[in-house]
Chain A
Amino acid sequence: MNSLTKASTLSSENISVWFGQRQVLSDVNLVFPANKVTALIGPSGCGKSTFIRTLNRMHELIPGAGLAGSVFLDGEDIYGEDFDAVSVRIKIGMVFQKPNPFPTMTIRDNILSGLRLSGRKIENGDEVAETSLRRASIWNEVKDRLNDQAISLSGGQQQRLCIARSLAMNPQVLLMDEPCSALDPGSTRRIEETIKELSSSMTIVIVTHNMQQAQRVSDQTAFFLADDNTPGGVVEFGSTEQIFNGPIDQRTNDYVNGHFG
């Protein structure tokens, strides 16, 4: 564990996003402190997923995407000249909504795929695979079948494999875009446990539609909302305790208590 990189503080300053001429996010300012889990909540279409994609420069892959503002990783602008998209994505990992293990690869090769894709040398592949799978708490389930095809796993296992795949890159920040939305309650619980364990070594940002999940896993919560025909933005940002038990804004109160969305 000593070789692991330290968690970093990530922050967004005045992030606005466009798709073509349409502005979908306006002026998002959030700070994700090191070793904290931040939940992004809000109704569908409010720009949470769009926002999380600006944090590792996946946003710019969409044709017609536009951006204003900055994202700082320990004070350095990831859109600045010192960074390229590839090195940003190595430092800031991402787990997607739907488990997406590479279907042509074995479990072991999936774990090592990031190292191969980014052109790094793999020295102690077995060790990397074991460490990553252990950190994603799936080692015991797959240790005897590392050479099986990854898609022979169940959906929940596939998602934990994808988490392990990101962990193999030793990211400082892990972004999770509704990682449990396609999973059953049992798998969801295990992933939530994993998130809590991982926060000791990295910073985590998670988009979720599940209020209980946000309360269970996160230290702080940001509530996003897009009013009709206006770009989305952050309505309220604070400790998870405050957002769920004593929100200042009426709209936050309505949302977390299930009155809309």
Chain B
Amino acid sequence: MLQEHAKLLAMMQHTGEIVGRKKLQKLVYIAKQMNQPFREKYQFHMYGPYSEELTLQVEEMCQAQFVSEEREKKSGYYQYRYSLTEQGKTFVDAVLPESTALDSALLAELNEASSKFLELVSTILYFEHLPRDEVRAKVYKVKARQNYSDEDMDEAFDYIDRLRRQ
């Protein structure tokens, strides 16, 4: 079990601070789809693919003081900021084998995107087994409230293609 926690900590070494629970969720999902060695199980939820397991692992790492969680009030909701602590760095070095390589550039790039965009990208990836026109129809249906435009969808498809080429 500790191996999976350590991978998440190593990811935070590459990304630096991650702002928002939704971003953290989507970032790990997309990285997993890009063959990064994450094993968290995802299901489809309100904002797209979501892993209860990941939520719990992050809570545990916060309790163990490997990750710092800062809560800040936004209009109508709270936003959370996650970053690796010194204790967390020591833990990664002790537990994670050197062979577990993560793609630093990919993770940093994902962290630069907005959480709304990552929500769209992860939702597209969730339905990727379908033909592209069906993926579009499905995303418009399940994400009706997000009002994604055709341009947003094109941008997300291009983004996925580019990540795959890297």
Partners in one complex: no
**Chain A residues within 8 Å of B, Cβ to Cβ:** none
